[in-house]
Chain A
Amino acid sequence: MALVEQGAPHRRPDRPHIFWTMRRRQLLWVWSFLAIPVLFYGVIRFYPTGQAFWLSLTDWDLMSEPSFIGLENYTRLFADPQFGSVFRNTFAYLIMGTPISLLLSFLIAYALDRVRFGHTFLRALYFLPFITTASAMAWVWRWFYQPAPIGVINDFLSGFGIPQLAFLNSTTWALPSIMVTAIWAGLGFQIIIFMAGLRAIPATYYEAARIDGLGEGAILRRITLPLLKPTTVFLVVFSSIGFLRIFDQVYNMTTNDPGGPLGSTKPLVLMIYQTAFSSYQMGYAAAQTVVLFTILLIVSLLQLWVLRERA
């Protein structure tokens, strides 16, 4: 207010154009742009995060008031034999799913990138599954995996006299069977991203390499792969997180024995869902979500670190 100009006595002292300097006006714009979003992130993201941590320390079951029980949910979780198998399953999806899907999608993208004839058509074939609804396609796959006489794959096999495979009815094969559907659904996306990465490599690099007399294999090893690294890092992290959070397929493919025979396909997210919304053990479920959060955090940081090291 000390800025009121002396040469303007007729103006009211609170006249805005003096207070509202350019800078202040901009600040007002900034915070009015950010007001709703800041509120949103605070209320819908940060507050619930804190609440999840807090709930994980209580025994809340919807029936009675939550009471603080310290780390009891966590000690119970690590002693729970089910958690052991759920943990193994969750990582089995990741450890098998990520490399297989990345390798496949790279090979396909690499080949597809060189194909001109029917390019759009071929690309569409691979991309289509990505835009389907996981819960719908899970039922299609569930039908594919049935034993004879109804299952498509087993019927196909028995046509060649090959004995049928148990797929979802086997404790060994149920998890890989479900994983295949997840790979199938995500492959199109990864192919497209790899192709975008390949296109982004300047053609001059290749020309220079050919002039130097490098073969296809050497070009791939020395130029394509290193330059594709940002894309690869992104896809590794993206697909790892996807496999660690797998749910839709498992939920729909095993509705009559949730989590597959003897829990052999049950991932962490399904355990969380059952604990919270079937048994109403909210505190215990919250502890499981905190564990999931920690796993995701560690895996993402680890992968970023490992891949950065080799730069």
Chain B
Amino acid sequence: MRKGILFAGLMAGVSPLTVSPAQAVEIEYWQYVFETRVTAMDQLIAAFEAANPDITVKQVTFPYADYQTRVVAANMAQQGPDVLQLFYGWADQFIGGKVIQPLSPDVFPHAQIEADFFPIVSAMKRGDDYYGLPTAVRSLALFYNKDLMTAAGLDPNTPPTTLEELVTQAKAMTEVDGAGNMSTAGMTLDMGGQDHQWWREVLVRQFGGVPYSEDGATVTYNDAAGAAALKFYTDLQTVEKIGQRGFMDEGQAAFRAGRAGFTIDGTFRLGSYRTIEDFEWGVTELPANADGVRSNYASYFANAIGAGAEGEELEAAQKFLAYISSEEAMKIWLDVVGELPARRSAAMTEENLANPIYAPFLKGLDYARTTLFLDEAAQRQNTIDMANRILIEGQSVEESLAAAAEAEQAIIDRVKQ
């Protein structure tokens, strides 16, 4: 009872969905507030409404921090949206809470999805059903400071292609002041940034391991390969001394300030780095291992259909979802938001592959993996702690890795049960 009122209250800011029996059907689309995303969606809605005059789409946005709660609460009050955006990592929660419904295979044939989209779309598949389709995806790449490379006697046009080159080049750029303090880092080490993804989905695989079982329910990185990957990572500070956790507070800040040669980051950082004026920078694919094995981590926000949509609203929602995951929509999204298209055909165009900034990210997408997070924040924290135990407390790599695997398994089990 109380909950009923509660959720009605949570919804007070949102005008109830008007179901008019007349010819026009109105559907609601929800996403979180991010200026360019909202602008891009406005454009998509305008184009969609022009093509479908009998459908109107209302865009409703919430601040990111509040978004999940809003969606869950609205759903309990049966006032959920018809189409909504969600991080792929929330899928289990949203399916379990009956917030979203499976996509009808008649409208969205599986064979076609699997042929057209990048393989990471499978993170939205549960059992035999797809629960959502992305418009855009994000992947990782290595950013490098051309000025620092030149100053260190390196050729700024040949950034590292292997892990070994990464270390030697970073070492050349590292500078230490008279008191022995690092003044320029060869590379940023920031597990709280994107390094935890790099370690999980890239390094572990490059050292011959697999981070999780196929269904994401079992932690499998606690082996020799996982240890070698973790040792490689922590050695960057303790042995090679090319970086230091906490240097300049955050990795991206060090790179921005021109105090770090390399940093690993995602497409979403491009906007921030584009405002850098003091030096030239470039982007390249994440380095391969000695055998040429590459990997990458990709993630995305998918669009899904709300569990409450039925009848003509469902039909309208399906049409809208099909449109916003079309090639045309992806082009608009790339132009306005700067995120990479989720369909191969829209992403791998000659134009995009010739773009020195998009190309490395796009190449990474082809072999990218995505982690099936169950509690993203807790799993990330767990990886940060794993590195900190070694870097701050001097614990052995094996012990820290074993503790991390055990703790992460407990997180997964708690959510799964």
Contacts and interface: CB of A to CB of B under 8 A. Distances in A.
> Taking the complex as a whole, does A directly touch B, i.e. does some CB pair lie under 8 Å apart?
yes
A170 B392 contact: yes
A280 B68 CA distance: 10
Interface stretch (A40-48, A103-111, A157-165, A176-184): A157-165
B398 interface: no
B393 A146 contact: no
A261 B394 CA distance: 13
Nearest to B244: A147
Interface stretch (A121-129, A148-156, A216-224, A231-239): A148-156
Interface majority SS (helix, strand, loop, mixed), chain A: loop
Nearest to B2: A66
B389 A149 contact: no
A148 B393 contact: no
A257 interface: yes
Interface residues of B, number: 35
B141 interface: no
Contacts of A171: 388, 392-393
A169 interface: yes
Given A62-B72, A278-B377, A262 B248 contact: no
A142 B73 contact: no
A7 B246 CA distance: 92
Given A63-B97, A257-B192, A280-B69, A262 B393 contact: yes
A132 interface: no
A65 interface: yes
B3 interface: yes
Nearest to B94: A63
Interface in A227-280: 256-258, 261-263, 278-280
B128 interface: no
B352 to A, nearest CB: 32
Interface stretch (B132-140, B162-170, B179-187, B274-282): B179-187
B388 A262 contact: yes
A187 interface: no
Given A62-B69, A171-B392, A262-B389, A148 B192 contact: no
B229 to A, nearest CB: 21
A149 B388 contact: no
Contacts of A287: none
A168 interface: yes
Contacts of A258: 381
A173 B107 CA distance: 59
B69 A257 contact: no
A69 to B, nearest CB: 14
A278 B69 CA distance: 10
Contacts of A278: 377
Interface in B239-264: 244-250, 257, 259
Given A62-B73, A170-B392, A261-B388, A147 B246 contact: yes
Contacts of B3: 65-66
B35 interface: no
A144 to B, nearest CB: 12
Contact of B392 (A62, A262, A280): A262
A177 to B, nearest CB: 13
B72 A148 contact: no
B177 interface: yes
A158 B181 CA distance: 8
B353 interface: no
A141 to B, nearest CB: 12
A158 B97 contact: no
A64 B182 CA distance: 51
Given A164-B181, A262-B388, A262-B393, A147 B192 contact: no
B366 interface: no
Given A142-B249, A147-B247, A158-B177, A169 B377 contact: no
A222 to B, nearest CB: 49
Contacts of A63: 72, 93, 96-97
A168 B181 contact: no
Contacts of B178: 158, 161
B384 interface: yes
A63 B92 CA distance: 13
A151 B138 CA distance: 33
B147 interface: no
Contacts of B385: 262-263
A293 B317 CA distance: 49
Contacts of B393: 171, 262
Given A256-B249, A262-B385, A154 B192 contact: no
Given A170-B392, A262-B393, A158 B73 contact: no
**Most A C-beta atoms less than 10 A away, residue of B73, B96, B181, B378:** B181
A158 B250 CA distance: 21
Contact of B179 (A142, A163, A168, A261): A163
B167 to A, nearest CB: 22
By Cβ-Cβ distance, the 9 closest A-B pairs, closest first, are A148-B181, A169-B246, A158-B179, A256-B192, A261-B388, A149-B183, A63-B97, A262-B388, A257-B192
26 contacts: A62-B69, A63-B72, A63-B96, A63-B97, A146-B248, A147-B182, A147-B244, A148-B177, A148-B182, A148-B183, A149-B181, A150-B249, A150-B257, A158-B178, A161-B179, A162-B179, A163-B179, A163-B180, A169-B246, A169-B392, A170-B392, A171-B393, A256-B192, A261-B388, A262-B389, A262-B392
Interface of A: 62-66, 142, 146-150, 154, 158, 161-164, 166, 168-171, 256-258, 261-263, 278-280
Given A142-B249, A169-B245, 10 more contacts: A62-B69, A150-B249, A161-B178, A161-B179, A162-B179, A163-B180, A163-B181, A257-B192, A279-B377, A280-B69
